[in-house]
Amino acid sequence: MLESLGTKNLLLLEDSEEFIENAVALFNMYVKQTFVAKNCTEASKLLKECSIDFIISDIHLRHENGLDFIQELRKNNKDIPIVILSGDKSESFLMQAIPLNLSGYLVKPINFKSLVMVFEECANRFEGLKHTEIELKDGFVYNKDLKILTREGITFSLNKKEILFFELLTHYKDKVLSKDLIAHTVYETKFMSDSALNNFIMRIRRRFGKNFLHTIPDVGYKLIV
């Protein structure tokens, strides 16, 4: 199971130089690459600029609270596996962390057995996501369980018609969606004017881009993968 982490990039949010040096060497035994941020601003920048698959974050930074960073991240990204790192084992601290949908908790200094356990949990989450996430064009991913669209760590909430459209699109991803099928499934009607359908597709493309959906003239639309 841990072999799957060999293709994943890890973000470490930590401000101790000594800890960083030892931790990166250890983490890189399992992951493709470890990116390091020494504060929350750097971490946010790396999340936007790099392909980050999961996060290990210290909580007690010099001038910041790692929990605040995670809480802010969770507003737009519910799925990325996050492991917290701290010397704090207090019950009140753990109660704060529970709602953050964490994949694990590591206590400094890191115990090798504990690290393997949380890495296995992260690997399990990635395995589960394979069956619920469908990759679209330009880095977009549709999550069939959560009914959301994500791209580079940013989550796009969808209204009812958008959800029905993406469900349809991903279910028939190797086929052309006819206008009648879209009308019946998305708008729950037997008839939909060409202008109404064109306006709907235009709104989808305006919001998410033009490159993942191909128009088949006079027929319908097909997902570009």
Q: CATH number of 2-131: 3.40.50.150, 3.40.50.300, 3.30.365.10, 3.40.50.2300?
A: 3.40.50.2300
Contacts of 72 (CB under 8 A, 6+ apart): none
- For residues 34 and 26, the answer to whether their CB atoms sit within 8 Å is no
CATH code at 136-223: 1.10.10.10
**What's residue 12's pLDDT?**
98
For residue 182, give both structure tokens. Answer: 């879209």
For residue 79, give both structure tokens. Answer: 């799925």
pLDDT tens-digit map of 59-98: 889 889 888 999 999 888 877 899 998 876 665 566 666 6
DSSP three-state, residue 82 = strand
**What's residue 46's pLDDT?**
93
Sequential DSSP letters for 103-171: SEEEESSPPHHHHHHHHHHHHHHHHHHHHHEEE-GGGEEEETTTTEEEETTEEE---HHHHHHHHHHHH
The residues of the chain that CATH labels 3.40.50.2300 are: 2-131
The residues of the chain that CATH labels 1.10.10.10 are: 136-223
Residue numbers of the chain with a pLDDT score lower than 70: 1, 88-98, 128-131, 190, 224-225
